[in-house]
Structure 1
Amino acid sequence: MGEDVAGVSQNDITKLGPTRLLIVKTAFGLGGIERSLIEFLRHLDYSRYDVDLLLLYGPFDLIPELPEQVHLLNVGEYGIRLRLSPLYVFYYILSVLLKSLRIKGGYQRYRRQKMDVYYRSIYRYFCKDKAYDVAIAYQQGFACEYVARFAKAKRKIMMYHHGSVEDVDYLTPWFKEADVLLTVSKDVAEKLKVAFPFAQYHVEVIPNLLDAYFIKKQADEYAPELKQGVLTLCTCGRISPEKGFDLAIGAARILKEQGLAFHWYFVGDGYDKVYVESIRQRISQDGLDVCITITGFLTNPYPYLKNCDIVVIPSRFEANPMIIQEAKILAKPIVATKTTGALDALIDGETGILCEIAEESMVEGIIHLYRNPNHMDEISANLASLNMSLLREEFYRKWDKVLNS
């Protein structure tokens, strides 16, 4: 493999003791990918693995949930100082200026120079004298660039969690440095093989996994104040276009027009505050303030999932959605759009209701369950009978194979 840092020979790394892992992640906020990483780390055998977790930038909401055996390399305040350094600020101003002038080539050049200053400084500060058996970029994007260019490791694993394949030109040079391209669903794996044909024989699939005992325990931690005497719906996740909260608002408007007594809880928030504000404004404009509550980010959203009547997943894209697994663990009736992840995770009519990615179809699924409580009970019973322990065993068998092959 190529090495972007001069004077480093990856062949000189000698394994002593446990397998040394470097996991690189960008933000560590309240999201599904972050939850999947927490679960992966929570049950890892630390007699066999020594783990460093490098977080390139914030937010850092879930750090308190990390197992104590994980060595945290948190950029934190050092990253803030880096972004205030003269060279970084110089490249930042140039990139913004050229972008405003619509000089695309110049903007991209200086944006890259800016990030190069950031990554090189992080490497020198945190990882210059460290070598690993395996380096994992736990999310597509900047983490892949860092692992490809700077991680000193015998093997490199790049992970892709998104339901659609994007940023192919940017990711191509970094994926070429990967020994394994890992994703969470078979459908996404096939898309990756088409988009990155050079990696088609190195693509592996390991679905996300959650700790059923932990989620059930968390679900009993507090009792949310849900509106009584109405159908309660819950949609949990990051408020962003791909998650379909705008479709949920449209569905809520139709339900209100049909006279259904309901209350819909949007459990989450978003990092794009302009988009989140547009969602809030649309709720008000459609006269749905009395029907929809946005809770904001919650460290523990599970009591809302447990105590609502129906979990609704209105996403446009999902590879292996954690929210479906969480709802299944809590045996909640699910109405989900037909994304890749939902089609893999649910059997229509048996473990959930699958609908088209459209407001009207979502409404049909919700109304069907509302009018057929026996069907809701059947779905809950089917979900309660699932054996999650077998999934866990298979999950760690696959990870052991990827990490040690």
Structure 2
Amino acid sequence: MKILFVAQNFQMGGIQKALINTLKEVSLYKHYEIDVFTFGEGELMKDIPPNVNVHTGNLLLQLIATPFAEVKMRKNVWHLMLRLLCMIVVRLIGSNHLYSILLKAHRNDRVYDIAVSYFNDVSHNYFNQGTNLFVDKFVQANRKFAWIHTDPLKADFHYDRCVETYKNFDRLLCVSEACKQNLINFLPQYKDKIQVVYNFFPIKEIKDLAWQYTPFEKGTIDLISIGRIENVTKRFHLIPLLCKLLKDSSICHFRWRILGNGPDLLQNKRLAFELGVDDVVEFVGECNNPYPFIRQSDVLILTSAYEGYPMVIGEALILDTPVITTNFAAAGEQISDGQNGFITSGNVEDLYPIIANVIKNTDKLQRMKKFIEENQYTNQKAHEQLVLEFDAK
């Protein structure tokens, strides 16, 4: 069976990591022959299994699939000028037209059994698009799948665009039951196409990498948050505010480490300094192997406004680290409230007392860790879901 996965890029990110994990799983099936077409590249390219055939877009496609900040960091004037030119052109003719022109050049004659558009196409972004368009218009396949990684209601999916885009797809695969239900509510005419395939996790690899080094000396209570540092969806700016409330309540015996990079990093560092909490908040930056940090921490805290099925929660549970999370759509599919973590409404007033209570009552942490150890995370359900969809006749 010939299967094509289409990706925007392999930069560090949740969807990219989910794709890497999916490729590692499906490449183990001997009856699957896997191709990947990626518009751009990125540091996660090295993690693609060796038996997967990888094809990359031409220079222009690579540039528009690469975050602008990353292109600037390369200090290649020619690449920067081309990227700026693309930004001008897309405002003149629209991103759909530009992608159509660029993607048409990558059409080939190969016929696939399944072609998968693995990335969300959020219509109000100029770039970060095109995988649905490519699979729909420029790939020959017996069946076409689109993977949905987020809550379509919270992520502001464009209704008319989705109706038009998904009409030629045979399956819309959601990463959680909650996202599936929200997509059915959003696109009821496509309810028979909508199914669930959970994210895969390389469990043994995560556990091995977690012991690769010791990132810090254990303190009284060590908290951790991980993700792209942008405040609209990930809301990392709440962390200095929460630390201020904790310190004002004389709770100072903790350290909150934040792993990741992004456009709001400097703003959040400045906020931590202005609030006088830079002694308890540590901005670690980008980290290729975050698992030792997760293993060594007492609690992972997710502050996101919305999520699909966040990889970092599964990774924390694999490493026996309890989780405090906001109440995104699928939170209850990963967290049993009060057993392996806590689910909060997500506002500061709700997050603060739960975090404070956990810091002051470490026996609760130990009970949660024991529960996690006794209920080990597995990929069994995801395997069943994927095989059901891929091998269906």
Displacement of 1:372 after TM fit? 1.7
Residues 303-341 of structure 1: CA distance to partner in whole angstroms, max 9, x if unpaired?
Answer: 100101211111110121111111111111221111122
Partner of 2:112: 132
Whichever residue aligns with residue 266 of structure 1, its letter is I
Flag structure 2 segments of 5+ consecutive residues without an equivalent: 66-77, 122-128
Partner of 1:284: 273
Structure 2 contact 89–98 (Cα < 8 Å) conserved = no
Distance 1:95 1:55, change over 3 A: closer
SS at match of 1:213: helix
State the distance in 1 between where 2:58 and 2:292 align. Answer: 31
SS at match of 2:33: strand
Bigger CA radius of gyration: 1
Distance 1:87 1:290, change over 3 A: closer
Distance 1:403 1:287, change over 3 A: same
SS at match of 1:200: helix
Identity of aligned residues (%): 23
Partner of 2:191: 200
SS at match of 2:142: strand
Matched, 1:220 2:200: no
SS at match of 1:243: coil
State the distance in 1 between where 2:314 and 2:284 align. Answer: 21
State the distance in 2 between where 1:82 and 1:268 align. Answer: 22
Displacement of 1:397 after TM fit? 2.1
Displacement of 1:163 after TM fit? 2.6
Matched, 1:51 2:46: no
Residues 59-99 of structure 1: CA distance to partner in whole angstroms, max 9, x if unpaired?
Answer: x1111111111111122646358998999987753544xxx
Residues 221-277 of structure 1: CA distance to partner in whole angstroms, max 9, x if unpaired?
Answer: 111025x5442110011222211212222211211222222211111112xx2x333
After TM superposition, where is structure 1 displaced by more than 4 Å over at least 4 residues in a row? 80-92
Distance 1:253 1:54, change over 3 A: same
Query: Given the two structures, how large is their TM-score scaled by the length of structure 1?
Result: 0.84
Structure 1 contact 20–132 (Cα < 8 Å) conserved = yes
Aligned residues: 365
Compute the RMSD of aligned alpha carbons.
2.4
State the distance in 2 between where 1:245 and 1:82 align. Answer: 27
Structure 1 contact 206–398 (Cα < 8 Å) conserved = yes
State the distance in 2 between where 1:56 and 1:385 align. Answer: 42
Structure 1 contact 88–117 (Cα < 8 Å) conserved = no
Distance 1:110 1:393, change over 3 A: closer
Partner of 1:403: 390
Distance 1:376 1:81, change over 3 A: closer
Query: Given the two structures, how large is their TM-score scaled by the length of structure 2?
Result: 0.86
Distance 1:88 1:198, change over 3 A: farther
State the distance in 1 between where 2:260 and 2:86 align. Answer: 34
Residues 147-187 of structure 1: CA distance to partner in whole angstroms, max 9, x if unpaired?
Answer: 11111101000011013433323333221111000101112
Structure 2 contact 63–83 (Cα < 8 Å) conserved = no
Partner of 1:72: 54
Partner of 1:145: 133
Structure 1 contact 88–118 (Cα < 8 Å) conserved = no
Structure 1 contact 321–342 (Cα < 8 Å) conserved = no
Partner of 1:394: 381
1:362-381, aligned counterparts within 5 Å?
362-381=351-370
Whichever residue aligns with residue 305 of structure 2, its letter is R
Structure 1 contact 172–196 (Cα < 8 Å) conserved = yes
Distance 1:196 1:290, change over 3 A: same
Distance 1:220 1:55, change over 3 A: same
282, 286, 289: which one aligns with 1:297: 286
Distance 1:82 1:282, change over 3 A: closer
